[in-house]
């Protein structure tokens, strides 16, 4: 496989050598052709497409499609490549979710969320004085969950893949060993995280030149990571959860006061779950079940909004923003009350939360032109970080993969396992901090999401697939912590209700409400001053933010048999790569 060394936010033509690609990238020209006047430049392809936050990783996935691989093969290769080229969130030391919709047959959800180590307890983040400590919860070795990514990718491949495993892992090994060109975006990101990593010598060694930040255009080689990936290539999950890699990880835990043991690693299993299913204006919604809150809240919000004519109100109107905010407020309150790892919370009322009658009851509590008030009596959520990554894949048979995975914070815990070259997550921070901990800072301590050995922490990651009349229609997902569910919903509304193409649906401004804090956040310049005044007059508190999420979307234009990709430009280095053999 010819590997692209340099990222570019553009469509890749098939069968270009790395050298030719380098020349194109250096030229910096966009390869998009045939965009009609007035149409936003969505990437198009007939056969297959990968859209991710790293153009290099997208090209790795598209090359797998061109070599005859299916969507799951391409997703596995893309995910391993992202672990090299997009270290802020691409990972083998974290976890995530993959929603798969085969062209024929039933969709499935692969859950490879991290787990709490066996020794975890609800009180494990209290300090010596019995006080909850944000630092211990989010920024220490005790923030690290047992990683799930390698087990999850392997399980999905074992059940759905068609190409040999080593063929899918090899591009990542080569990218790690031979290196790739550091973009402006990555150079800036690495420079910003250096301070947080400074206490971990292996992290500093991997991501800087002895403490000096890399400059754009330099090559990032990650030899220890290449060796770890090679052990995965040769031995599958045993190459990560057992043997040298596992020993290095457990040793780092022991020296840093973490809880993960060799047994925790050996015991980790990814699981297959039934996706959440819903229906929105005749479109079938397929999304992630608990331990994600995403699919449940998404279907709940869409059910509420189905009762309104969003198209007539118009995109960005105060009326629509108000209705969306009220739907979000209600769904996020239920999220706080009910959701957690289903293996530890057998009674989650998913059927009720995702039912049309319940949505009608909630709709009846929404007043036109008047904001409800969130009550902080018992529940509030801490702020979450926004560094996760999502990608979407469709192959020539219209099998589709929607995959979101994460280290939680950008670069996770900041801890590179010495000798193993990969970053550890800080996903334990997604558990509630301590029992009964509900205070004005926005912390909570409700039962369903307290830490216990072997439990998965609650997530908002919402990889989602939309179908129409039995055919694939849309693949969507995004990073963004608790904003994820709302961003995913808005990409769907933008296409279904507002007639946008994939790129327009990604570009359009986004807003967010999460019950508490009780306010609408919105992307800058999304609303006119008139709209903001109207929303304020309804009683909404308003807060401008720079950007929300990084959605990577594919829409299947059923009439034309064409795939349309939307790449999020809010973060650097994203790209769509296509499989489009000229003879077809």
Q: Which residues are catalytic?
A: 388
203/459 with CB nearer ligand DON: 459
Q: Which is nearer to ligand DON, 24 or 82 (CB)?
A: 82
Least Å distance, CB 479 to ligand DON, is 3
Identify which of residues 433 and 481 has a Cβ nearer to ligand DON in the complex: 481
Positive or negative, the CA dihedral 262, 264, 267, 272 is negative
Gap between the Cα atoms of 333 and 378, Å rounded: 10
| Sole window of 196-204, 333-341, 475-483, 514-522 interacting with ligand DON (rule: CB under 6 A) | 475-483
If you compute the radius of gyration of the chain from its CA atoms, what whole number of angstroms results? 22
Nearest to 415 by CA among 112, 145, 54, 185: 145
Task: Single out the segment in contact with ligand DON by CB under 6 A; choices: 44-52, 383-391, 510-518, 526-534.
Answer: 383-391
Site for ligand DON (CB under 6 A): which residue of 147, 480, 566, 574? 480
* Min separation Cβ 459 and ligand DON, Å: 3
Q: How far is it, in rounded angstroms, from Cα 493 to Cα 483?
A: 15
DSSP 277: E
Least CB distance to ligand DON at residue 276 (A) = 15
Using rule CB under 6 A, residue 481 touches ligand DON: yes
Q: In the numeric block, which tokens belong to residue 140?
A: 């220490």
CB of 415 to ligand DON, least distance (A): 16
Spatial distance between the Cα atoms of 400 and 75, rounded to a whole number of angstroms: 9
- Residue 405 vs 473, nearer CB to ligand DON: 405
**Of the ranges 124-132, 348-356, 411-419, 458-466, which one interacts with ligand DON (CB under 6 A)?**
458-466
According to the binding rule CB under 6 A, does residue 388 interact with ligand DON? yes
Minimal distance, residue 248 CB to ligand DON, in Å: 24
| Residue 168 buriedness (CB in 10 A; 0-12 / 13-18 / 19+) | buried
Q: Return the range that interacts with ligand DON (CB under 6 A); candidates 4-12, 152-160, 235-243, 386-394.
A: 386-394
Structure tokens at 97: 């979710």
User: In sequence order, which residues have a C-beta less than 8 Å from that of residue 317 and are 6 or more positions away?
Assistant: 531
Among 386, 438, 501, 531, binds ligand DON (CB under 6 A): 386
CB of 137 to ligand DON, least distance (A): 13
Burial 178-205, CB ≥16 within 10 A → b, else e = ebbbbbebbbebbeebbeebeebebbbb
Q: How far is the CB of 408 from ligand DON (least distance, A)?
A: 4
523 touches ligand DON by CB under 6 A: no
Task: Report the alpha-carbon distance of residue 401 to residue 475 in Å, rounded.
Answer: 7
β-pairing verdict for 562-566 and 553-557: antiparallel
- What angle (nearest 5°) sits at the alpha carbon of residue 486, between those of residues 445 and 60? 105
Nearest to 348, CA basis, from 286, 404, 285, 276: 276
Should residue 413 be labelled a site residue for ligand DON when binding is judged by CB under 6 A? no
Of 31, 385, 536, 539, the one binding ligand DON (CB under 6 A) is 385
Determine if 387 is a binding residue for ligand DON (CB under 6 A): yes
* Under rule CB under 6 A, residue 291 binds ligand DON: no
Q: Which of residues 107-136 bind ligand DON (CB under 6 A)?
A: none
What angle (nearest 5°) sits at the alpha carbon of residue 426, between those of residues 138 and 543?
Answer: 60
Site stretch for ligand DON (CB under 6 A), options 103-111, 326-334, 353-361, 385-393? 385-393
User: If you search the block for the tokens 């999502």, which residue do you land on?
Assistant: 390
Grouping H, G, I as helix, E, B as strand and the rest as coil, residue 234 is helix
Cβ closer to ligand DON: 399 or 402?
A: 402
Specify the stretch interacting with ligand DON by CB under 6 A; choose among 184-192, 213-221, 480-488, 540-548: 480-488
Nearer of residues 402 and 459 to ligand DON, judged by Cβ: 459
**Is 152 or 480 the residue whose CB approaches ligand DON more closely?**
480
Number of residues engaging ligand DON in binding (CB under 6 A): 16
Q: Are strands 219-220 and 271-273 parallel, antiparallel or unpaired?
A: unpaired
Taking residue 34's Cβ as centre, other Cβ atoms within 10 Å add up to: 7
Closer to ligand DON by Cβ: residue 316 or 517: 517
| Beta strand extents in 395-536 (DSSP E only) | 400-406, 464-468, 471-476, 511-512, 520-523
Give dist(CA 43, CA 282) in Å, integer.
Answer: 26
What minimum distance in Å lies between the beta carbon of 578 and ligand DON?
A: 26
Cα dihedral value 554, 558, 563, 568, nearest 10: -30
The nearest distance, CB 428 to ligand DON, in angstroms, is 10
Query: Cis before residue 502, ω within 30 degrees of 0?
Result: no
Among 236-244, 453-461, 507-515, 574-582, the segment contacting ligand DON (CB under 6 A): 453-461
Tokens coding 118: 């066996």
Is 408 an interacting residue with respect to ligand DON (CB under 6 A)? yes
Q: How far is the CB of 399 from ligand DON (least distance, A)?
A: 25
- Is 459 an interacting residue with respect to ligand DON (CB under 6 A)? yes
DSSP codes, 312-351? HH-TT-HHHHHHHHHHHHHHHHHHHHH-S-TTT-TT--HH
460 binds ligand DON (CB under 6 A): yes
Q: Is 466 helix (H, G, I), strand (E, B) or coil?
A: strand
Q: Whose Cβ is closer to ligand DON: residue 88's or residue 501's?
A: 88
Q: Dig out the tokens for 233 from the structure.
A: 């290539």
Nearer to ligand DON, 48 or 448 (CB): 448
Binding residues vs ligand DON (CB under 6 A): 384-388, 406, 408, 427, 430, 459-461, 479-481, 484
């Amino acid at each position: 496989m010819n590997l692209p060394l340099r990222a570019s936010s553009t469509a890749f033509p098939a069968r270009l050598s790395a050298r030719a690609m380098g020349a194109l990238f250096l030229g910096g020209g966009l390869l998009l052709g045939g965009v009609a006047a007035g149409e936003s430049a969505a990437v198009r392809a007939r056969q297959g497409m990968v859209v991710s936050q790293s153009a290099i990783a997208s090209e790795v996935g598209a090359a797998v499609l061109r070599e005859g691989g299916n969507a799951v093969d391409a997703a596995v290769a893309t995910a391993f490549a992202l672990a090299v080229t997009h270290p802020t969130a691409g990972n083998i030391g974290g976890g995530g979710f993959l929603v798969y919709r085969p062209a024929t047959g039933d969709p499935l959800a692969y859950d490879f969320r991290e787990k709490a180590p066996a020794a975890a307890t609800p009180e494990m983040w209290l300090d010596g004085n019995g006080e909850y400590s944000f630092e211990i919860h989010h920024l220490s070795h005790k923030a690290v969950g047992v990683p799930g990514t390698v087990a999850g990718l392997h399980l999905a491949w074992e059940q759905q893949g068609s190409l040999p495993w080593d063929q899918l892992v090899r591009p990542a090994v080569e990218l790690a060993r031979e290196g790739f060109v550091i973009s402006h975006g990555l150079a800036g990101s690495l420079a910003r995280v250096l301070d947080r990593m400074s206490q971990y010598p292996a992290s500093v060694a991997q991501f800087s030149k002895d403490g000096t930040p890399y400059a754009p255009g330099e090559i990032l080689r990650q030899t220890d990571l290449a060796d770890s990936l090679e052990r995965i290539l040769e031995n599958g999950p045993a190459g990560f959860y057992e043997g040298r890699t596992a020993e290095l990880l457990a040793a780092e835990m022991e020296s840093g006061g973490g809880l993960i043991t060799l047994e925790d690693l050996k015991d980790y299993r990814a699981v297959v779950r039934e996706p959440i299913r819903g229906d929105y204006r005749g479109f079938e919604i397929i999304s992630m079940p608990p331990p994600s809150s995403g699919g449940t809240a998404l279907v709940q919000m869409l059910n509420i909004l189905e009762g309104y004519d969003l198209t007539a109100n118009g995109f960005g109107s105060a009326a629509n923003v108000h209705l969306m905010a009220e739907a979000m407020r209600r769904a996020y309150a239920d999220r706080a009350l009910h959701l957690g790892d289903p293996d530890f919370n057998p009674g989650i009322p998913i059927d009720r939360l995702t039912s049309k009658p319940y949505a009608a009851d909630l709709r009846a509590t929404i007043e036109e032109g008047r904001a409800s008030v969130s009550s902080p009596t018992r529940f509030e959520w801490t702020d979450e970080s926004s560094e996760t990554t999502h990608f979407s894949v469709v192959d020539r048979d219209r099998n589709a993969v929607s995959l979101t995975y994460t280290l939680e914070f950008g670069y996770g815990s900041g801890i590179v396992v010495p000798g193993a070259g990969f970053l550890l997550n800080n996903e334990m921070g997604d558990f509630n901090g301590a029992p009964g901990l509900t205070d004005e800072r926005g912390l909570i301590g409700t039962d369903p999401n307290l830490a216990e050995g072997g439990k998965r922490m609650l997530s908002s990651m919402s990889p989602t697939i939309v179908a129409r009349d039995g055919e694939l229609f849309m693949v969507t997902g995004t990073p963004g912590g608790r904003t994820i569910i709302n961003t995913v919903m808005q990409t769907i509304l933008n296409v279904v209700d507002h007639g946008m193409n994939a790129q327009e649906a990604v570009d359009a401004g986004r807003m967010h409400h999460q019950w508490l804090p009780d306010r609408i956040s919105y992307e800058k310049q999304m609303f006119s001053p008139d709209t903001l005044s109207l929303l304020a007059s309804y009683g909404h508190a308003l807060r401008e933010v720079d950007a929300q999420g990084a959605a990577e979307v594919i829409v299947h234009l059923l009439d034309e048999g064409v795939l349309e990709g939307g790449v999020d430009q809010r973060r650097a280095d994203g790209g769509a790569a296509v499989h489009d053999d000229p003879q077809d």
